[in-house]
Amino acid sequence: MLTKRIIPCLDIDMGRVVKGVSFVDLYDAGDPAELADYYNRAGADELVFLDITASSGNREIILDVVKSVSETVFIPLTVGGGVRSLEDIRRLLHAGADKVSINTSAVQNPNLIKECSKFFGSQCIVVAIDARSVKNNSNNQNQISPKFSAVSLDEHSKWEVFTHGGRNPTGIDAVKWSKFMSDLGAGELLVTSMDQDGHQSGYDIQQLFEISTSVQIPVIASGGAGEYQHLYDALKNGLADAVLAASIFHNKTHSIFAAKKYLSDLGIPVRPLEYLEDGE
């Protein structure tokens, strides 16, 4: 049986780890290399690094951060932010990343997902989806490009895809987009609820369930973890394959060891606890 993964997320802005609420009000949360080393020792299954302002700020990918981290940690590392081409992906993988997360560029050029999954293998390609609840479909539908008509918002849409670190609405339906990205060759989806992000009140379980049941590839839940029960809900009821969290681990109010014990006690398969050190 495949084990469920716990993945700390390090949102990067100008070389520092930051955290916020619903993608705004960012505050400094530490040094990327130091936090990565801590999570590596604490039993994290993977790490995700997202340069959350690379696309909106038109910056290059964070190769220096990737190199420094990959030299000290020995768990899979996913990196995203500012990825625009096959060459960007090659450079990140060469710098030590195991997977590359793509969000804005997937909307700007969906064929990039098809091309890079064929060239590097779908196991390397994670499509990140930042989605917010739909408030007014009639306005948003006018923003959609004709080439995205098949995945555009309609009267049944519940969540809209956003790009550029949650700044730009797209008029794209998140569930349709998930299926489209899967069909193009994405190996995994990183689904972040913008409504829940940073509030620590739980993941958007309905959103996770609808996306998870629409695709045949792993789905990572993101946005809203505040306690161990939230992790369980996302894995059990949202059918996620992994849970990504930031605030509860950065603040050290909760530990990965305790999270895994909690999930294991409730019957969720996780990496064997005997490999972890209590108290990390």
Task: Kindly list the catalytic residues.
Answer: 11, 130
Neighbours of 76 (CB within 10 A): 15
Judge contact between 46 and 78, C-beta under 8 A.
yes
Neighbours of 74 (CB within 10 A): 7
How deeply is 262 buried, as exposed, middle or buried, from its count of CB atoms within 10 A (0-12, 13-18, 19+)?
A: middle
Percentages (nearest 5) of helix, strand, coil residues in the chain? 40, 25, 40
The encoded tokens of residue 238 equal: 């949202």
**How many angstroms separate the CA atoms of 203 and 206, rounded?**
9
CA 132 to chain centre: 14
Question: What stretch of H or E contains 176?
Answer: helix 174-184
